[in-house]
Amino acid sequence: MLSVRSLFLEILENDESFALFCSIAASGEAQGGWENGRISKLVPASQQEMAPKIARHGADEEKHGRIFLALMRKRGLKTVPVPPDTDYTMLLEAAGIGLTHARLRQDQALSEHDIVTYLSHSRVTEQRASEQMRLLLKHFGDHTELGRAVRAISRDEDNHLAYCHEELLRLARSGHGRTIQRILRECAMAEIRTYREVSLAVMAHMGRILRWSPLKAATLRAGIHATYAYERAGGWRRMTSLTLPTDNLNALGDPTPPPAVTPATP
């Protein structure tokens, strides 16, 4: 029977597919860490109180990258190159979503509009991250090899999502409401397309490694297209709503960030 659990177990049990999975995940997290690290240094004067939270967000993502690398190391595996068609972060940038890496490399303060763009992009991508980690948590929260990592990352992604809701609502109250709604919608539409393309690419690479039958590969592709159809028909709205996280306010405000690491240069 084809299920999320059986599919992931298959990927987990094969060294080559596990190394590819962890390498893709580690690269995405490191890029997210670098982006947030840069944004925290370029926050405009009017939003300075956000800077430590953005830095904390970046440190969390870098920590996630290190966790995926450690999972590989524990198995004696090395990182493998990330195929460009599986590079979610770069493909989102190519779709015109969020702030570009070229902009973030400049030592020039961002505008308030840039902060709205960054936070809206994060609101959408953290929804995806939070949902994916909750799925892994459901199936692998007690797994001996993965459980601890999955629990820690899932908790962090939920915090990142809560933080995005809270900060966007604050910016909406200060007059950015219409812009936020417009950018959130654009981001969600681009994200669901990019997620579909990346999912198809990841499954194609896994299928080659794990020698899936044409029927199994076709079934998985159909599932990915069905998910996109659901998201296109209205599922995207879950990525653009804003609700105050009353049970998790100031989720990134705790002044105890994880240890700093060597800056990544994606």
Residues of this chain that bind Fe ion (CB under 5 A): 29, 61, 64, 126, 129, 157, 160
Task: Report, in Å, the least distance between residue 68 CB and Fe ion.
Answer: 9
Task: Report, in Å, the least distance between residue 197 CB and Fe ion.
Answer: 20
Q: Is 214 helix (H, G, I), strand (E, B) or coil?
A: helix
Residue 199 or 220: the one with the smaller Cβ distance to Fe ion is 199
Q: CB within 8 A of 262, min separation 6: which ones?
A: none
Task: Report, in Å, the least distance between residue 126 CB and Fe ion.
Answer: 5
Residue 38 or 220: the one with the smaller Cβ distance to Fe ion is 38
Q: If you ran DSSP here, which 8-state letter would residue 96 be given? A: T
Residue 29 or 231: the one with the smaller Cβ distance to Fe ion is 29
Residue 121 or 160: the one with the smaller Cβ distance to Fe ion is 160
User: What Rg do the C-alpha atoms of the chain give, in angstroms?
Assistant: 18
| Cα distance between residue 184 and residue 253, in whole Å | 24
> For the purposes of burial, counting CB atoms within 10 Å of the CB of 71, is it exposed (0-12), middle (13-18) or buried (19 or more)?
buried
Task: Report, in Å, the least distance between residue 154 CB and Fe ion.
Answer: 10
Which among 241, 266, 4, 34 is positioned nearest to 120, based on CA atoms?
Answer: 241
Cβ atoms of residues 104 and 33 within 8 Å? no
Residue 3 or 256: the one with the smaller Cβ distance to Fe ion is 256
Task: Report, in Å, the least distance between residue 71 CB and Fe ion.
Answer: 14
| Cα distance between residue 116 and residue 120, in whole Å | 6
| Cα distance between residue 232 and residue 10, in whole Å | 29
Task: Report, in Å, the least distance between residue 135 CB and Fe ion.
Answer: 14
Residue 132 or 179: the one with the smaller Cβ distance to Fe ion is 132
